[in-house]
Amino acid sequence: MSIQQQATPATLKVGVVGIGWAGQQHLKAYSRIEGVEIVAVAGMEDELLAQMKQEYGIPHAFARWEDMIGLEGLDAISVAVPTFLHAPISTAALERGLHVLSEKPLARNGEEGRAMVEAARKAGRVLDVAFNHRRRGDIQKLKAIIDDGRLGRPYYAKGS
């Protein structure tokens, strides 16, 4: 590459499994992030699936998540389905080499959670949980104040 050429960041190609409220929040958020392209969505409700595909200009829609994670060129998925499905979907996606953002809770129990973490480590991929409030600016500022010891040692907190 010559000095005159500049490397452009690669586009992250994502898919979302689940088209209920949580899945729609993931679609909405991804659609607003520069450098992210929603390339697939999976859900069981035919009409809603077609609506999400059209609304977000998603090229691929699947009734089965198993078909979606086999899509060539996919980098990462969001898992926004009932908790009992988090482990099987996330583990299968990680084994395919995909990064995974799972809705909370991560799993039904510690055993499932450990298996998911082990699959991520084995695949060298990111497994994250959508604890969206911890990334808010006010929460990060509060955490920094606590870490600096400026509030002493909190033993109880309530926020709204």
pLDDT digits (tens), the chain, 160 positions: 333 444 556 899 999 999 999 999 999 999 999 999 999 999 999 999 999 999 999 999 999 999 999 999 999 999 999 999 999 999 999 999 999 999 999 999 999 999 999 999 999 999 999 987 777 888 889 889 999 999 898 888 777 6
**Does residue 152 belong to any structural domain of this protein?**
no
Phi and psi based region of residue 97 (left: phi greater than 0; alpha: psi -120 to 50; beta: remaining):
left
Domain residue limits at 106: 12-131
Q: Which residues contact 49 (CB under 8 A, 6 or more apart)?
A: 19, 41, 42, 43, 61, 63
Helix intervals (H) in 6-147 = 21-31, 46-56, 65-68, 86-95, 110-123, 137-147
User: Residue 4 falls within a domain, yes or no?
Assistant: no
Q: Which CATH number covers residue 43?
A: 3.40.50.720
